[in-house]
Homo-oligomer: A and B are copies of this chain.
Amino acid sequence: MAGPAYTRLDVDERRRRLLELGARLFTEHAYDELSMAKIAKQAGISKALLYHYFPSKEAYFVATLEEKANELQQRTEPDPSLEPMEQLSASLDAYLGWIQENAGSYDKLIRNAGAAPEVRALLDRVRTTTAKRILEGLSPNGAPSPVLRTAVRGWLGFMDGACLDWVNHNDVEREVLHGLLLSTLLAAVLAAGEATTAT
């Protein structure tokens, strides 16, 4: 029994290391500059073995982004033991922490989002999950109004725009950005609520 289990773990572990290497390489180099041959050399394995794990450079790239996206989703998972507003604040803080650690990947991810359909699909999935989490926190007892949905979708765009500016300029304190994001979300939600009540 120990044999197969050991082999399995080995495969998973190698895959995990390849994804870590990929996240670094795709951040440090332009996509077009990297070849599967160069990547295999960096990984210290044969090209054939690299292709065994990932059928193409694009598949490898998408897999590294998916790994990063999963990590992000886990780290920003709302803590149900907190009040809704505290949940949001804590998730947002975790999100900013993740961006700080992965500034290069984040910039590439957002800027090159349209480069591959798989990357667009991945980003759409992350945004849909995040919007759903926020909307469930804001209107736990039913479907949100269309304008509230629009406000939350808009705010996710605000996060992207503000965080991209933040990582590119690096001249705003993380707590200041956190405050800006949170106040803007509250204002957008409030404006959406007033629009719903008014009509």
Contacts and interface: CB of A to CB of B under 8 A. Distances in A.
Interface of A: 111-115, 119-120, 146-147, 149-151, 153-162, 164-166, 169, 171-173, 176-177, 179-181, 183-184, 186-188, 190-192, 195, 199
20 contacts: A111-B114, A113-B114, A114-B115, A114-B119, A147-B177, A150-B166, A153-B161, A154-B161, A155-B158, A156-B161, A157-B160, A158-B158, A158-B184, A158-B188, A179-B191, A179-B195, A180-B188, A180-B192, A180-B195, A187-B188
Contact of A177 (B114, B119, B150, B166): B150
A160 B119 CA distance: 18
Contacts of A192: 180
Contact of A161 (B114, B115, B157, B191): B157
Contacts of A188: 158, 180, 183-184, 187
